[in-house]
Amino acid sequence: MSGFFDTKIEFLKGVGPQKAALLNSELNIFTFGELLQHYPFRYEDRTRFYKIREIQADLPLVQVVGKVLSVQSIGEGRKKRLVAQFADETGTIELTWFKGLSWVSKKLVKGVPLVAFGKPQRFGSKFSMAHPDLEPLGGTVDQAPFFQPVYPTTEKLRHRFLDSKGLSRMLKGLLPLALPKLPETLPAALIESLALLPKRDAIREIHFPSGSDSLRKALHRLKFEEFFFLQLRLLKLKLARTEKYKGRVLDQTRLLTRFYHDILPFQLTNAQKKVIREIYNDLKSGLQMNRLVQGDVGSGKTIVAFICLLVAVDSGYQTCLMAPTEILANQHYEGLMPYAQQMGLKIALLTGSSSKKKREEIHRELASGALHLLVGTHALLEDVVKFHRLGLAIIDEQHRFGVAQRAKLWAKNEDFYPHVLVMTATPIPRTLAMTLYGDLDISVIDELPAGRKAIQTLHRYDKDRLRVFGFLKKQIEQGRQVYIVYPLIEESEKSDLKSLMDGYESVCRAFPGYPIGILHGNMKSADKEYEMNRFVTGETKIMVATTVIEVGVNVPNATVMVIENAERFGLSQLHQLRGRVGRGAEQSYCILMSRYELGKDSRLRLETMVRTSNGFEIADVDLRIRGPGDLSGTQQSGITDLKVADLAKDGAILSQAREAARTVLEKDPYLRFPENKPIADQLARLRKNELNWSRIS
């Protein structure tokens, strides 16, 4: 939209410079077009009228027709309120106002039929409504019943009569001017084949619905359009990448075959085999791979990555594996080193703690090509780290790295781009993955290795602590180890959360004679490594920690995870923490501790953890509770541009929009066909505000 739709909002009749300044600062509405896209966030059903005797306390909103019997002003000064007795032929209800009394009193004319609309509250045997909408009967019901839009607004705007009704009045003035000029953004054939409303009808209906069916169709059309253009941009990125960034062909399987048949000490799951095939097909395709592997905690992503890097090494290239923390990088290195040695591969570890001598040795071996696999942290990104021929870059827990960091790793070669494999143990709901990572190919390892016992998850309150500690002692006496996780390192005056330092002291008192370790993010790397090694070797029996252990830590003998103040953690984080146990053959447990009775969302989180260990199901619940805006990566994905569509609820529409976008681009990848001109024009309009999409996600 341009021209008319770029007109400053102050030039709309009834607005002017002062109101425009408020709309600018409070709602980011600067133009006619932005007001047109300021959609209602809900609708009040004004289609039903109640008799006063039909009112019940559990009704969210009611609408009644009646007359004012009496009006009384009660109290003085700021405590003053206006109370009206409002009646129909079946009974009486009390209407109360605490603000805007002089304005309301003009409406309260005795004997004149009025419509009152608001939330009923019971006081004894009577009902009342506070601050109900009040309109003359003829002014409200002179047409068919309707759904009243409710718009986002602010307290400052309400004081200037720019509440929801005020915004609705502005839109009522704008729509007759705007609709004739509003361009269609989708091809006629697509609109017809999917039975979508035309854009003009959808905009009119979303602001002024003529009925429930037309409102549903309008919402569907606008949700579809938002998803369609988001997916179109992602798919065009993917198309551009395959055309511009040709990949080196990595197709040698001699090492892979030998490792699989002679060295691998366990059977791969069918899911692991499927993902290996998908990655291998990418590596040998001649196109630069950009693939995301999702796998729940303990699903075996690392061994999949190792098998694939054997293909790269066998084809004459180097590989690297980058992890977000030194603990995780060390763990990858220790876990892969025996395999690498048996396969004759030279492997090295590079972190911030590596000595100068070790760094120089690694730099030399990288540059000469003698080093086959480099495992490390952000230290891999330093300019002095130069590969001879980097063929495959693997990024673990990719959501912990910024776009610039990932792109820097991608650009390590001077003359070609390496294949990129990113991995995450943080399950991503399908709808979110399609949007956050729509320009990547996605593989899912949705099967755990055979023989793993399900972790038993329990929710307990502080009053159960002695029983919980008794259970921990039994586990330790049986030779097991325990994690106890706290949300904070130090106590905060503003927080009632338990702190690690206080917790450590109380655990030491409760478990005298047991070796206890402590681990948190503020410790020096050497101290962290020392404490972790003591726990890995079994020297310490209890590890008191913060969420620094959330990612990747692997101690098969640890069988109990206690999470203090569990209600204050997100679902994804709880699931990651739980995944630190259950890695051996023994039965494992996760105990979620909380102090108080829980709120609705907290209860749902903990109930979900107790009910299921399926990471993807947990991720779906997390998305419903928190919404996409709170989830990792959304600020750079375009999700925050969604005004109507909801990833947690509109997955079917997203799938429909993605399929439609794919079909359009398969037939017309450059959008040059005349019938696709509406799409090309809308993309050009969106490009003005388009985010800087990264070449790798």
Q: Which fold has domain 254-445?
A: Rossmann fold (3.40.50)
Q: Are 440 and 422 in contact (CB under 8 A)?
A: yes
Domain boundaries 456-612, CATH class: alpha beta
Mapped onto helix, strand or coil, the DSSP state of residue 94 is strand
In sequence order, the β-bridge partners of residue 459 are: 592
- In this chain, the answer to whether the domains covering 49-144 and 254-445 adopt an identical fold is no
Residue 637: predicted pLDDT:
47
Which H or E run contains 190? Answer: helix 188-193
Cα–Cα distance measured from residue 44 to residue 47, given in angstroms and rounded to the nearest whole number: 9
Count the alpha carbons within 13 Å of 112 in the hemisphere toward its beta carbon: 13
Q: What is the pLDDT of residues 219-245, one digit of tens each?
A: 999 999 999 998 998 888 888 777 777
Residue 20: predicted pLDDT:
94
5 has pLDDT over 80: yes
Q: What is the pLDDT of residues 453-494, one digit of tens each?
A: 889 999 999 899 999 999 999 999 999 999 999 987 655 444
Residue 490: predicted pLDDT:
56
The closest of 535, 591, 527, 532 to 558, measured between CA atoms, is 535
Cα–Cα distance measured from residue 187 to residue 185, given in angstroms and rounded to the nearest whole number: 7
Mapped onto helix, strand or coil, the DSSP state of residue 128 is strand
Residue 691: predicted pLDDT:
40
**DSSP per residue over 267-294, as a string?**
PPPHHHHHHHHHHHHHHTSSB--EEEEE
Q: Are 137 and 113 in contact (CB under 8 A)?
A: yes
Residue 2: predicted pLDDT:
61
pTM of the model: 0.70
Least confident stretch, 88-92, 174-178, 315-319, 687-691: 687-691
Domain boundaries 49-144, CATH class: mainly beta
Q: What is the pLDDT of residues 264-277, one digit of tens each?
A: 998 999 999 999 99
Q: Which residue has the higher pLDDT, 19 or 500?
A: 19
560 has pLDDT over 80: yes
Q: What is the pLDDT of residues 134-144, one digit of tens each?
A: 888 865 444 44
Average pLDDT over residues 603-631: 82
User: Domain ranges in the chain?
Assistant: 1-47+154-181, 49-144, 254-445, 456-612
